[in-house]
């Protein structure tokens, strides 16, 4: 019989679970707080019965208590991004039609009007955390547990639904592969509307009975200060963060550099994911830390699927082999497995794979072929090791660990009064992996520069979706059918290898 994350926590008692801006909290305190949240959300009902609850909270103890409370009430947790402007928050609320909308007091003004406009129940997290505990429902592990939003080729974000069994499979696969124990301690600074921070860091730590230290946001200098204090055993980040840590190390004195390097060496593993890791960054980080970063491959729909080994050789530019409980294969356009050494699309099968796209049965059906999930990523297997070659769709851009849809960005940019046409592409960049770049055709007599466009875009798009580069053109390259030729658009931008 499957066990849930909260049931695992009950075995840890007074052991420290979370160290956060609000203080230090034991597993028992986390269970007590999440129980209060669950009782508040039930509001007299016996069970939320898989109804979504959207919540917005900064990284910290209340975030975890809210998420666990939603699960314990029988609901589906829908964490919102701290970085999204109102239109994107509204999109998730409208897409999920939640039973309740909950926000931390510091963020309440961002969600209260959205809930009021739609007649939805709204509450502040402090009210939920102060509620008297009551009886809670038994929650079957086969139930839906979480919806995380990811951008797809259709342009608008899709809600990826995972069950409690899916989440357990994702966690236990990594617990086994990366040998988590209750003696581990990890620092969490990754965004908590992504699977990387939610599952790989917080959920794995709390499943293992380890300590998770949560900081409000990433700051290279502060992270180095914490590393220097010692005690951390694992470290997880995206390539952009490693680049920023390298920069801070290089700006430090020789004495401090030595101390920073020695502190890194005391950790047992350092992991990179959510975007391709440039080999140059891997090599620089090895000089800085003494660690060969452990690269892995994952996505919102599967958690983690493929990983370099904890012990043994890690090949730069490669992501390793399938994780425990995960089946992977490479296929051609017809779904036929390809010969060794031949590029193919990665397909994944196993308990880690999500159950559905929320409210999108057709999209769900299209995502699977003969029981295998089609990732859209192309790879080649060399000596049994997977090496990622890129996306099968040019309309998905990976920037700073975020996966964004070019079509969604284009749709927003086309609402600009001076933009007639536009094409968004990802241009290779040493810091961001891919830099969101746009070529635009303007209304006659109009002008537009990147600073003006970014200021306009930040009011309508998440920061990582706002273009970092702009080129104004007279016309966009198109094929005979009138479709924009994205590889030709990429060539417009300086430094592009397209």
What average pLDDT does the segment 393-413 reach?
A: 82
C-alpha distances out from residue 433 to 220, 241, 245, 397, 400, Å: 19, 11, 16, 9, 6
Q: How far apart are CA 342 and CA 362, in angstroms?
A: 30
The DSSP secondary-structure symbol of 133 reads P
Alpha helix positions (H), 320-380? 361-366
Q: Looking at the predicted structure, is the pLDDT value of residue 316 above 90?
A: no
The DSSP secondary-structure symbol of 261 reads H
Which of 106-115, 206-215, 236-245, 445-454 has the least mean pLDDT?
Answer: 236-245
Q: Specify whether the CB–CB gap between 134 and 90 falls below 8 A.
A: no
Give me 220's structure tokens: 């290279």
pTM for the whole thing?
0.84
Q: Looking at the predicted structure, is the pLDDT value of residue 232 above 60?
A: yes
Q: What is the pLDDT of residues 135-161, one digit of tens each?
A: 999 999 999 999 999 854 446 889 999
Q: What is the pLDDT of residues 426-443, one digit of tens each?
A: 999 999 999 999 999 999
> Can you say whether residue 269 is alpha, beta or left, with left for phi > 0 and alpha for psi between -120 and 50 degrees?
beta
Which residues have C-beta within 8 Å of that of residue 113, sequence separation ≥ 6? none
Q: What is the mean pLDDT of the chain?
A: 93
Q: What is the pLDDT of residues 351-370, one digit of tens each?
A: 999 999 999 999 999 999 99
Q: Of 3.40.50.720, 3.30.230.30, 3.30.300.30, 3.40.50.300, which CATH number belongs to 396-490?
A: 3.30.300.30
DSSP string, 21-40: TTEEEEHHHHHHHHHHHHHH
Give me 498's structure tokens: 């397209």
Q: Looking at the predicted structure, is the pLDDT value of residue 249 above 60?
A: yes
Give me 455's structure tokens: 């200021």
Q: What is the pLDDT of residue 482?
A: 55
Q: What angle do CA 15, 20, 26 make, to 5 degrees?
A: 20
Instruction: Assign 392 a pLDDT band (cuts: 50, 70, 90).
Output: low
Which residues have C-beta within 8 Å of that of residue 249, sequence separation ≥ 6? 224, 257, 260, 288
């Amino acid at each position: 019989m499957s066990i849930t994350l909260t049931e695992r926590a009950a075995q840890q008692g007074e052991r420290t679970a979370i160290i956060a801006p609000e203080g230090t909290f034991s597993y028992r305190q986390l269970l007590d707080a999440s129980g209060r949240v669950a009782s508040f959300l039930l509001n007299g009902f016996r069970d939320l019965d898989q109804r979504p609850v959207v919540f917005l909270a900064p990284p910290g103890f209340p975030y975890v208590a809210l998420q666990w409370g939603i699960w314990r009430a029988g609901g589906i947790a829908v964490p919102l991004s701290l970085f999204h402007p109102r239109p994107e928050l509204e999109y998730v609320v409208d897409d999920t039609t939640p039973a309740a909308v909950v926000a931390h007091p510091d963020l309440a003004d961002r969600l209260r009007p959205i809930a009021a406009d739609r007649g939805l129940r709204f509450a502040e997290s402090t009210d939920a955390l102060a509620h008297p505990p009551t009886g809670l429902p038994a929650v079957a592990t086969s139930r839906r547990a979480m919806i995380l939003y990811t951008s797809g080729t259709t342009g608008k974000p899709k809600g990826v639904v995972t069950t409690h069994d899916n989440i357990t499979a994702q966690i236990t696969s990594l617990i086994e592969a990366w040998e988590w124990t209750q003696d581990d301690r990890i620092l969490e600074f990754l965004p908590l509307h992504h699977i990387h921070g939610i599952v790989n860091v917080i959920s794995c730590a709390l499943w293992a009975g380890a300590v998770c230290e949560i900081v409000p946001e990433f700051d290279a200098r502060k992270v180095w200060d914490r590393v220097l204090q010692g005690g951390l055993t694992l470290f997880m980040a995206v390539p952009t963060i490693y680049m920023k840590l390298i920069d801070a190390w290089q700006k430090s004195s020789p004495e401090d550099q030595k101390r920073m390097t020695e502190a890194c060496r005391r950790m047992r593993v350092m992991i990179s994911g959510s975007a391709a890791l440039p080999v140059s960054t891997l090599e620089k980080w090895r000089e800085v830390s003494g660690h060969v970063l452990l690269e892995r491959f994952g996505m919102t729909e599967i958690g983690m699927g493929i990983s370099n080994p904890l012990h043994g050789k890690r090949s730069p530019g490669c992501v390793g082999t399938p994780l425990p409980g995960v089946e992977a294969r490479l296929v051609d356009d017809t779904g036929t497995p390809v010969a060794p050494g031949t590029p193919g699309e990665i397909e994944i099968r196993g308990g880690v794979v999500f159950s559905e796209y929320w409210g999108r049965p057709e999209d769900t059906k299209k995502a699977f072929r003969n029981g295998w999930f089609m990732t859209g990523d192309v790879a080649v297997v060399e000596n049994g090791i997977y090496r990622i070659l890129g996306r099968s769709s040019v309309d998905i851009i990976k920037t700073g660990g975020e996966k964004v849809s070019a079509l969604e960005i284009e749709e927003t940019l086309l609402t600009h009064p001076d933009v007639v046409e536009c094409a968004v592409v990802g241009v290779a960049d040493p810091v961001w992996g891919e830099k969101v770049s746009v070529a635009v055709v303007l209304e006659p007599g109009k002008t537009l520069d990147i600073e003006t466009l970014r200021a306009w875009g930040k009011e309508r798009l998440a920061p990582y979706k706002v273009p970092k580069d702009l080129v104004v053109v007279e016309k966009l390259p198109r094929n005979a059918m009138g479709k924009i030729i994205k590889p030709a658009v990429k060539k417009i931008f300086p430094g592009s290898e397209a």
